[in-house]
Amino acid sequence: MKKIFKTTALSILFIFTLLGMVGCSKTTETNNKIKVAVTSVPHAEILEHIKPELEKQGIQLELTVTDDYNVHNRALAEKEVDANFFQHLPYLEEQIREFNYNIQEFGKIHIEPLGIYSKKITSLDELPDGATISIPNDPTNEARALALLHRNGLIEMNDLNNLSATIIDIKSNPKNFKFQEIDAAMLSRTLDDVEAAVINTNFALAAELNPANDALAIEDADSPYANVLTIRKGDENRKELQLLKEVLMSDLVKDFINEKYKGAIIPVF
């Protein structure tokens, strides 16, 4: 009986040890996998490019792609993803103020200059009185679009430093332009119906517009609206996220951006 009991006890111990090893294996695998929420262009394209390099370092990258700006920060805050990469810094700061998200910037990667596009005119001087201009309706991007119109002499804003400005903050509109506030992802679809549209570069590229050639006006390269990698506060020491940041801010990405987007997107690291 003692021998049987001893054998049974050893067998049970072996099973629990094996289960423990399996559990450890799953934990390790999970810790080496990171999920990132992105918009399709250029963020998903950039991360797809670095997947092989991350795999060499033992990191499996999974992308959640959506062009709905309302999703990414909530998904990160609620731990549905480990990071996101889609937004510029002023938009992130506005989202944190509005929703009290416990998230933070983890590296400035590139600038996507905002541009003014049209299918009906070839110069801003041709905009007629009463022309309709479509602009982004999301926080900060609307102010950013209005600032671009201001800098090109089309309107005058009360305060260019107001990152929450909307059309009600226009001081002077001498040509009586009408403004359509549209979801940023939909702006390129308005080009058949409006005289001009102010479009984010990622959505311009997705609509096969080349900002360097097709934009009637574009933000300067020193724009403060750098797109950032974003993580939850407290996760900055996670090795896999540090590796993601390191690769994103490497020559591998800089060369890819310069060669693929040819000045339409500008690395800032």
pTM: 0.74
* pLDDT on residue 31: 59
Rg over alpha carbons for the chain, rounded to the nearest Å, is 24
Distance CA 252, CA 236 (A): 22
Q: Delimit the CATH 3.40.190.10 region(s) of the chain.
A: 32-113+224-267, 115-218
Choose between 229 and 266: higher pLDDT.
229
The pLDDT-based confidence of 211 (bands split at 50, 70, 90) is: confident
The pLDDT-based confidence of 221 (bands split at 50, 70, 90) is: low
* pLDDT on residue 195: 98
Q: Which of 191, 243, 185, 237 is nearest to 214 (CA)?
A: 191
CATH architecture of 32-113+224-267: 3-Layer(aba) Sandwich (3.40)
Are 257 and 42 in contact by the 8 Å Cβ rule? The answer is yes
- What is the length of the chain? 269
Does domain 115-218 fall into CATH 3.40.190.10?
yes
pLDDT tens column, 132-186: 999 999 978 999 999 999 999 999 999 998 988 999 999 999 999 999 999 999 9
* pLDDT on residue 140: 83
Are 69 and 184 in contact by the 8 Å Cβ rule? The answer is yes
